[in-house]
Amino acid sequence: MKSRPQIGGRLAAVALVAIVLAAGAHAQVLNSGASTIALNAVLNDSITVSLSSNAVNFTLTAGSGSNPGSTGVTATTTWLLRPNVASLKLYAFFSSSTSALTDGAGNNIPSADFQISNNAGPLNALTNTVPFGGANAGLQLSSTPILGNNKSGTRTDNMNFNINLVPLPSLPAGVYTGTLTIQAQAI
């Protein structure tokens, strides 16, 4: 027969163990499952061309090789490109080589007689086939190599214009109008 004091001691010991076990159970970290968020950030490639002016006038002298435009035009090209782009080129072009400017009555000034000096370079006629416009009606104004340090960049092309009427000595008097287009391409 055990005495009542012995029984009380055993109960106290059991209670102490239970308390210790309960405390240990509370100390363990409980984690949820991992939930993911897919992130997708798009930096679009882009090329923009802006012009300092959108109109040029010419006062022509019959048969003259020098008929400069009333104003120069600066094309500012800004780009943000992806890797693997090798170069950025700027083009000037007409939709037709035979009628860069026309009086609307069948008398035309061909693109071969329209000249551009880019950044004070020589005057060049628009006689090449470029990615835009009519065949033999374009001119590459510039080419910028795209390297690791200029995937994003800008450049300016200062254009001056001239109409050469030496090949057109019999051009009749009239008002000749046309549209010159400037466009850039990265490839």
Partner 1 sequence: MRTGTFVRVAVVALAMTFAASMASAQALSSGAQTIALNATLAESLTLSLSANAVNFTLSAGSAANPGSTGVTATTAWTLKPGRTAVAVYAYFASTTALTDGVGDNIPSSAFKISDNGGASTALTNTVAFGAANAGLQLGASTAITGANKTGSRSDAMTFNIDLTGGTLPQLPAAVYTGTLNIQAQATP
Give the residues lining the site for partner 1 (CB under 8 A).
Answer: 45-51, 53-63, 67, 69, 73, 75, 77, 81-85, 100-101, 103, 105-107, 109, 114, 131-132, 161, 163, 165, 169-187
* Cβ closest to partner 1, residue 103 vs residue 140: 103
Rounded Cα–Cα distance for residues 102 and 87 (Å): 34
CB 63 within 8 A of CB 165: yes
Residues 160 and 68: beta-carbon distance below 8 Å: yes
Q: 59: which residues sit within 8 A by CB, 6+ positions away?
A: 67, 70
Closest CA to 130 of 100, 97, 85: 97
- In angstroms, give the least distance from the CB of 62 to partner 1: 4
For residue 50, the minimal CB distance to partner 1 (Å) is: 7
Is 24 or 169 the residue whose CB approaches partner 1 more closely?
Answer: 169
Q: Which is nearer to partner 1, 8 or 63 (CB)?
A: 63
Q: How far is the CB of 120 from partner 1 (least distance, A)?
A: 19
Q: Are 118 and 142 in contact (CB under 8 A)?
A: yes
- The least CB distance from residue 56 to partner 1, in Å, is 6
If the CB atoms of residues 41 and 105 are measured against partner 1, the closer one turns out to be 105
Q: Do 117 and 104 touch, CB atoms closer than 8 A?
A: no
